[in-house]
Amino acid sequence: MLKLWGKKYEVEQNDDNVVIKAFGSSPKELFSNVVSALASFQKPAPRLAVIKTKSKIPLFIESMDLNTMLVDFLEEIIYMNETEQEVYHDIKFTTFDDNKIEARLMGLKVDQFDNHIKGVNFEKCNVKQVSPKKWEAEVVLDL
């Protein structure tokens, strides 16, 4: 079992899935921390060089609520990881509300990923506000 700990997230890998727990003072910060957690899990293999091409990829998501938006958000990023062969380590939001995101993902081209993700488990995704300035999300990704 692999465990990665950060101040803003936790990543725990099991045999067939990975659990990301992210924390933030707002939903916007929470989603940004999920991007960082995902990048820490998918990082390029240390034995392979990172191609030093930086990219900025536009991202547009519309969903009915924050839980669905997190699933859609992650599915889109995972799809772009594979099609663009990039790891996205940062995001700059231009619009963020309860059902819409417009942003730019910042990424690096890679030769190979350490870990490949098949998809997001919708039933095991939860975004919640635990106090006025504290948000948490837990999402399970299938490997």
Q: pLDDT tens, 34-93? A: 999 999 888 755 544 555 557 788 999 999 999 999 999 999 999 999 998 888 989 999
Nearest to 138 by CA among 59, 117, 123: 123
> What six digits make up the tokens of 140?
């399970």
DSSP string, 99-126: TEEEEEEEEEEES-BS----EEEEEEEE
Q: How far apart are CA 98 and CA 71, in angstroms?
A: 13
Give the global pTM: 0.88
What is the pairing mode between strands 17-24 and 50-62?
Answer: unpaired
Nearest to 97 by CA among 136, 129, 65, 57: 65
CA-to-CA separations, 136 to 58, 79, 97, 139, in angstroms, rounded = 25, 24, 16, 10
Could you give the percent of the chain with pLDDT greater than 70? 89
